[in-house]
């Protein structure tokens, strides 16, 4: 009888330990494996746009979150973030996202949170240009190589050159949180 009680106690202890380990694994996965690259809140503070990198799965996530919902706008596999920029319209209805990754084709997104639908990227291109120029304090000399366009600088600037960032990946070094 004593042996059965000890086995039951040991079994329940192991069960609790497994539950705690499972919880800690999930928490540590979110905190250590999925790293936020950039987060910007909308001007009305209701939405937050995030660019995150899931190291374990090798993917880039672009997400919108509010108090009650989470929308995944894009998921790209087998990539590393080299650059990310987010810009919101002043009325908080439209968000633009530019992500430069290892591919030759940058991720360009624009989304209307009111209608919950994608919109043409050109609606947010000027907002992103202003945000890149402001956040990275780009001079006219740095932009001249890329026709004076901050978007082209973000998409094509080579690291270590006079017009480019010092190193890649450079989004982490310059990461802004608002």
Would the pTM of this model clear 0.75, i.e. be above it?
A: no
Q: Where are the domains of the chain?
A: 2-156
Q: Whole-angstrom Cα distance, residue 140 to residue 120?
A: 28
Question: How far, in Å, are 15, 30, 55, 67, 152 from residue 21 at the CA level?
Answer: 10, 14, 21, 28, 46
Per-residue pLDDT of 16-57, as tens digits, reads 565 555 554 544 444 446 777 888 899 999 999 999 888 777
Could you report the per-residue pLDDT of 43-52, keeping only the tens digit for each? 999 999 999 8
Q: Exposed, middle or buried: residue 88 (CB in 10 Å: 0-12, 13-18, 19+)? A: buried
In a 3-state reduction of DSSP, which class is residue 103? coil
């Amino acid at each position: 009888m004593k042996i059965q009680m000890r086995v039951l106690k040991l079994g329940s202890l192991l069960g609790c330990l497994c539950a705690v380990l499972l919880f800690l694994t999930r928490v540590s996965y979110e905190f250590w494996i999925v790293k936020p690259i950039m987060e910007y809140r909308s001007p009305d503070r209701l939405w937050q746009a995030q660019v995150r990198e899931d190291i374990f799965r090798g993917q880039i996530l672009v997400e919108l979150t509010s108090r009650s919902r989470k929308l995944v706008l894009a998921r790209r596999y087998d990539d590393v973030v080299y650059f990310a920029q987010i810009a919101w319209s002043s009325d908080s209805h439209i968000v633009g996202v530019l992500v430069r990754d290892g591919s030759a084709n940058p991720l360009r997104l624009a989304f209307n949170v009111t209608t919950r639908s994608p919109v043409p990227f050109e609606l947010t291109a000027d907002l992103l240009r202003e945000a890149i120029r402001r956040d990275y304090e780009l001079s006219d000399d740095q932009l001249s190589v890329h026709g004076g366009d901050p978007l082209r600088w973000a998409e094509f600037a080579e690291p270590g050159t006079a017009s480019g960032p010092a190193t890649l990946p450079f989004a982490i070094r310059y990461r802004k949180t608002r």
